Amino acid sequence: MVYLILAVLASSLVAILMRLGEKHITNNFAMFMANYFVCSLIAFLFMEDKHPFVMQEGMSFAIGLGLFSGCLYLLSFMLMKYNISRNGVMLSSVFMKLGVLVPTLMAVIVFRESPSALQIVGFAIAVAAIVIINLDPQKADGGSKKAAILLIVLLLVSGLTESMANIYDKVGVRAIKDHFLLCNFLTALALSTAVTAIKHQRITWKDIAFGVMIGVPNYFATRFLLLSLGSVPAVITYPVYNVGAIILIGVAGIFLFKEKLSGRKLIGFALIIAALILLNL
């Protein structure tokens, strides 16, 4: 559980730092590039043999899943950053963490883990909360619909991204988990560097500084999540990981960023917390 608590803290810090940097970052892809450079560097430092691409048992799977996971990581980060600017840190973080539905369902359907009756109730409440947050009869314009779609896409992509750790834990060779993490972050680094070069945008020291700061907790959130999956079932790990982060990020949104929620969204927010708690029972 120590690894799981550390993963929650690191994941919360990523969202908070992204919110803090919103007014200072002018080139998001430069920030992503610095972030994934730091993640790749730390992943390499944690490797014992320091020979990341020497072929050994399970290496092909580690590289292949790492490449796919890296693409998802960058896409998830981009969606999170865009949603924060459109929907605020609280709602964006809630839907990103509600992506727990994806790896939890995968754990049940694919890896045959058995949820309890309370966890099934938690899934139903979570779906109801999504409807309550997004179904606003007084705001049926295109803007609100687009915001709702963005949140749902964020949920699905972030959930699939988180599922990569469980897939590797169940199928991959644990002894070379650092190779998987390195391939993951190197792929995201290569993609963000390519986009930065193509866009020819100005890079500031603040872009790099926030990328470096975000990179440290971003790496450890992934590493600690992977380590916790080695000893705690996924149907427990993912709900705890997400509800803990939602609570911490929600507190930060209220007290640090003075964000406010309407009564309807506040009810939805409370239902999501209740759903994630039930998923953990």
| Digit-coded pLDDT (tens) for 241-255 | 877 787 788 778 778
How much is the pLDDT for 142?
A: 45
Amino acid 26: pLDDT: 86
- Summarised one tens digit per residue, pLDDT across range 141-163 is 445 677 788 888 998 998 898 89
- Domain limits, the chain: 2-280
State in Å, rounded, how far the first CA of the chain is from the last one: 15
pTM assigned to the model: 0.79
pLDDT of 255: 81
Contact of 93 with 245, CB cutoff 8 Å:
yes
Which residues of the chain register pLDDT less than 70?
A: 50-53, 89-90, 97, 130-131, 133-144, 261, 279-281
